Structure 1
């Protein structure tokens, strides 16, 4: 049997290798069939020290941060172009790492390229602020890079999330360290390679595959890291926030969600059903904005649920490279078992399984981490499955009376990442959207995302905003500069 190929990460142009079979590797398992998707070198705390030192040297001594914005933009445009040149191979690698359907992975590579193109445009058109004078001077507010920033990304959308952080951080002039999830470690290495092939000066971006408790913690605690951006679970976000608070460094935290998806009685039923299904079963429910709590007005509840259940039964669950597949596997067996455990909790709480609630019976899927799309009703909003993030294809349906009732129930959660609604009354849509405690609200659509539109959460769903102009501000600090115009000595 041939020895596995081990992909190495690089620090300052030097590859860090591990011996085959040693503990210093991470093996990514393809969740569709249990095969090995890839093996990468595992970073250590010492590697974090070395990477921070190299990043600071590059930040201080390489020309990147001192280039004109249009010059930095040229490199960012080129990174986006090269991502698209490797679109198919990158998408296939992500499919093998994460189990997402191929068509979804292709979309994510497109989005990653779009992130670099967008921040290239923002970079070369960014205008610093000339502030109003209040004396014999004029003043400016300038956006300055932090220096070295750490970006810790999740497994559910690796190439897209890594680009979403790296593009604005680099555009702002920073050096970037990426800690990808141990479940999906390969895409970050490819992104780093493409950045250097596009002309980014060596040392300005490094991917360090590893585990949160060692590599992630070492990054967050390192005195040379001036800012941390994290996407992931709320508990981990709190731990990072606590360390950052002690260190007095800024953080961007995009955390969990338990998003309400609301259907009013005047909604277009067919479109709402399709939107609800896409909102929870897209990405097999492994999305922070998944519409996992469905609120349907009582007058249409029975009719709506009958249609939703019927169409959910017809969803194609299968191998991610099947062109007709609509839902692939979950990311790992451990995660699938966690999702199944929550469905059991729903049963124990008195919930009724309307569809799903088990693994598929198709023999082709038995080696994978599949779970059927599941709908539960018969519970109240205080049930655990309505309050805790499941991060899988599990929808809990609840009837509601009126606007006041659904606003109260929709906001009755620790989270506040996203929400959606379907209605023919735009005055109602506006009223309810303003009352919902969520960072994103979709009206007669769901789960739309645009790099130019800010994204983040209220309450336990996070701090700060990624995407849009806010994304560049997240990775910048403000410096005020005053120019005196006094004709006489000051104070006279």
Structure 2
């Protein structure tokens, strides 16, 4: 049977790529071809940007309430098609269906927040120095937004960029990741059903060199927002410099998970496992290095091992599956190489450490949930982002050492702290060099929060009022009669 071919979504219409070529998308759980996505090119990017630029004037002139109504309509359609969208997400990137439903809910929440806050992009009025003068600080949209998303949350990351961009009065051209573009195209179809005006939202599928690079370099795209790896983000920033574009980058992470001697151990274990193995560890906020106080280390390690052993790895479409496959063979091999190097450097393999084979595993890219103990801070695996189901366990003497080691990282996105000591929590707020910290809870940012990192984890941020305000620029007006 031939798979369904997905065209590009440009100017409110489904159009064939200039190349005439399509790329097959395979289900990482079983290797089955599920669909084909158009292979876009610079010609398609030019067409999409032209459509977005033409639509910008009429769209930005609409009242905030009208723009909000379109976003509410799109949100309602996501909620209506929750199961269908979750199935698409699972089939294209392999996360368990229960987690895919969570992603759809999060995507809907992001659109809802954007819709609710279209009228909260407020300006300022300042007294002038001349008699009768007022100084107005207005907030106006940038124009055409170029958005590049990652493969690990293919629907939510699109919603995270589309919602605030449109709420602020911009139009947008989105490049979904080539490994998982199908849920993004399903979102475009829902936008069409919601009656979004032509050219306001455009989707161009394809790879980085053919679509991402020309989108970033396009002279008529003044604002770039990207979620992806740190190396890719640095290249985008360099390319955007030619036209002095404003750039927002949400990049890699190496989250420390700190467990102190007074922590609720059972709660910390549940959070550590969830924050590491959710979505197969393919999350930028994942628990990448677990620092445990020496007083509770043995107890924590024993219970942690028992909890990881219970994880069910298998068909992501089956209810009750805890972990599905890695998104691709290349990603699996990268993770395995990091694990083997850690073992060679002295880490002790407690669980996993290999690709799963036999039966259903032979047709997918499954990696066993892996637990490493005796990990020391000098090992490569402590400093390089794993982005896979590997939990590294490290022992610390006290809170001072935990903070010091946590901060010795090129990344600064997310961190976790489990303690009942308010003094430690307050000290953490001053000294921990991360943009987002979860205290006595597991992972999961909220639409009304602000998701942002320091150092090599990116520039700017997403979500909440601060994220929304990134999609506008200020205009200062010295007003005289």
- State the TM-score bracket (shorter-chain normalisation): over 0.9
* Aligned match of 1:31: 28
Q: Which moved more, 1:375-384 or 1:306-315?
A: 375-384
Q: Which moved more, 1:365-374 or 1:157-166?
A: 365-374
Q: Which moved more, 1:148-157 or 1:445-454?
A: 445-454
* Aligned match of 2:112: 117
* Aligned match of 1:488: none
User: Once superposed, what is the RMSD of the aligned Cα atoms?
Assistant: 1.5
Stretches of structure 2 lacking an aligned partner (at least 5 in a row): none
Pick from 220, 225, 249 the counterpart of residue 253 of structure 1: 249
* Aligned match of 1:366: 362
Structure-1 separation of matches of 2:44 and 2:373: 49
Structure-1 separation of matches of 2:461 and 2:223: 14
Runs of 4+ aligned residues of structure 1 deviating over 3 Å after TM superposition are 132-135
* Partners of 2:59 and 2:171 within 8 A in 1: no
Structure-1 separation of matches of 2:119 and 2:277: 39
Q: Does 1:213 align with 2:209?
A: yes
Secondary structure of 1:336's aligned partner: helix
* Aligned match of 1:379: 375
How many residue pairs align between the two structures? 480
Structure-1 separation of matches of 2:369 and 2:12: 45
1:482–1:280 CA distance, 2 compared to 1 (3 A): same
Deviations, residues 121-146 of structure 1 (Å, cap 9, x unaligned): 10034322223444421122111111
Shift of 1:361: 4.6
> TM-score of the superposition, structure 1-length normalised?
0.95
Q: Does 1:51 align with 2:48?
A: yes
* Partners of 2:12 and 2:192 within 8 A in 1: no
* Partners of 1:403 and 1:432 within 8 A in 2: no
* Aligned match of 1:99: 94
Q: Which moved more, 1:66-75 or 1:160-169?
A: 66-75
1:272-311 maps to which residues of 2 (within 5 A)? 272-311=268-307
Structure-1 separation of matches of 2:457 and 2:106: 23
Shift of 1:13: 3.6
Deviations, residues 89-111 of structure 1 (Å, cap 9, x unaligned): 11101110110111111111111
Deviations, residues 168-211 of structure 1 (Å, cap 9, x unaligned): 00111111010011100111111122112212110111111110
Pick from 160, 172, 175 the counterpart of residue 179 of structure 1: 175
Structure-2 separation of matches of 1:337 and 1:410: 27
Pick from 59, 65, 68 the counterpart of residue 70 of structure 1: 65
> TM-score of the superposition, structure 2-length normalised?
0.97
Structure-2 separation of matches of 1:5 and 1:73: 33
Structure-2 separation of matches of 1:37 and 1:401: 51
Deviations, residues 228-263 of structure 1 (Å, cap 9, x unaligned): 000000001011111122321100000001110000
Structure-2 separation of matches of 1:122 and 1:444: 29
Q: Does 1:128 align with 2:123?
A: yes
Secondary structure of 1:366's aligned partner: helix
* Partners of 2:12 and 2:202 within 8 A in 1: no
Shift of 1:23: 7.5
* Aligned match of 1:8: 7
Structure-1 separation of matches of 2:292 and 2:318: 33
Shift of 1:379: 2.8
1:159-178 maps to which residues of 2 (within 5 A)? 159-178=155-174
Secondary structure of 1:480's aligned partner: strand
Shift of 1:476: 1.0
